[in-house]
Amino acid sequence: MDKLLFGDNQFFGINHMSEEKARAQAMRFQKTDAIMDVLDTAYDAGIRTFMCTTHDRIAEIVTRVKADPARYGDFTFYPCMPYAHKYANAVTDHGMVGALRNFMPEDGFLATALAGGKALATREVDGIAKVLIDMEMKMFAGARAPVVFMQNVFADLLLGMGFTRAFRIFHDHVVEKYGAQPAYITMNMPMLLDALEKEGIERPIICSNINKLGFRMSGGFDAYLDALKSGRVRAVAMSVYASGAIPADEAIHWISELPGVESIVFGASSAGNIHSTKALVDKYMGVCA
Partner 1 sequence: MTQEKLKLAVVGLGKMGLSHFAMVNAHPEVQAVACDGSGFMVDVLSKNVGTPVYRDFDEMMDREAPKAVVIATPSRLHAPMVRRALEAGAHVFCEKPFCLDWQDSDALTALAAEKGLVAQVGYHYRYVGAFLEMKRLIEAGAIGRITHVLAEAYGPVVLRAKRQTWRTQKSEGGGCLYDYAAHPLNLLNWFFGAPAQVTGSVLDSVFSEGIDDEVFSTLRWNDGPTAQLSVNWSDESHRKMSTKISLIGTNGRLFADRQECQLYLRSPVEGLEDYEPGWTVKYTTELTDDRWFYLRGEEYSAQLDEFIAAVRAGERTSRENGFGSAAETDRTMAMIIENARTGQPVGAPPVMSKPEKTARKRWFGR
In the complex, which residues of this chain contact partner 1 (CB under 8 A)? 12-19, 22, 85, 91-97, 117, 119-120, 122, 125, 153, 156-163, 165-166, 187-188, 191, 214-220, 242-243, 245
Nearer to partner 1 by Cβ, of 245 and 287: the residue is 245
Helix (H, G, I), strand (E, B) or coil at 88: helix
Least Å distance between CB 202 and partner 1?
A: 22
Least Å distance between CB 93 and partner 1?
A: 6
Inter-residue contact 237 to 255 (CB < 8 Å) = yes
Nearer to partner 1 by Cβ, of 46 and 214: the residue is 214
Minimal CA–CA distance to 80: which of 267, 226, 280?
267
Which stretches of 104-205 are DSSP H helices?
109-115, 122-137, 152-161, 165-178, 189-198
Nearer to partner 1 by Cβ, of 67 and 119: the residue is 119
Gap between the Cα atoms of 26 and 273, Å rounded: 18
Exposed / middle / buried, residue 73 (Cβ in 10 Å: 0-12, 13-18, 19+): exposed
Least Å distance between CB 19 and partner 1?
A: 6
Nearer to partner 1 by Cβ, of 13 and 46: the residue is 13
Least Å distance between CB 153 and partner 1?
A: 6
